Structure 1
């Protein structure tokens, strides 16, 4: 693996990780807040008992779901092995 393919791999994992964490955090916060208001739960209990497990589940789900959608949107590059000719080793 050369440095260009390493860069492509790091870009894919970092982008996917940040999108997954941000999306899961937002949805977990909103859903925990709605359930807290609906069932009159204490704020600390709602965040720890509802928000944290929901955050973990949503993060895993987004990591599995998002690569296809991010590639379709053009945010993620192709797999490092399928990268264009500019990432192939040049023999001079």
Structure 2
């Protein structure tokens, strides 16, 4: 079994997912809070009606967008495909 390739895949998935959760959580919380203040919404309504759908959309967007910048900054390993012809 190719443990380097498995480790690289796990590292990429966990790092990208963690960065996406943090980024989407911060932005959705901030935007839901601003909407709550501007539109005088209840806290539960603002977080569930605005924050949760926005979090899901931003998580998907960040998960698709973040691998390239994270790889350029050195936070991710090489692509798992560069480790050799194993498991193809």
On whether the aligned pair clears a TM of 0.5, the verdict is: yes
> TM-score scaled to structure 1, two decimals?
0.87
**TM-superposition CA deviations, 1:17-76 (whole Å, max 9, x none):** 000011000100000000100000000000000000000000000011101111111111
In structure 1, how many angstroms separate the alpha carbons of the residues matched to 2:53 and 2:34? 15
Structure-2 residue corresponding to 1:75: 75
In structure 1, how many angstroms separate the alpha carbons of the residues matched to 2:64 and 2:51? 20
Count residues with an aligned counterpart: 86
Unaligned runs of 5+ in 2: none
Unaligned runs of 5+ in 1: none
Structure-1 residue corresponding to 2:47: 47
Alignment of 1:4-83 (within 5 A): 4-83=4-83
Alpha-carbon shift at residue 88 of structure 1 (Å): 8.8
Runs of 4 or more above 2 Å deviation: none
> TM-score scaled to structure 2, two decimals?
0.90
Structure with higher Rg: it is 1
In structure 2, how many angstroms separate the alpha carbons of the residues matched to 1:43 and 1:88? 53
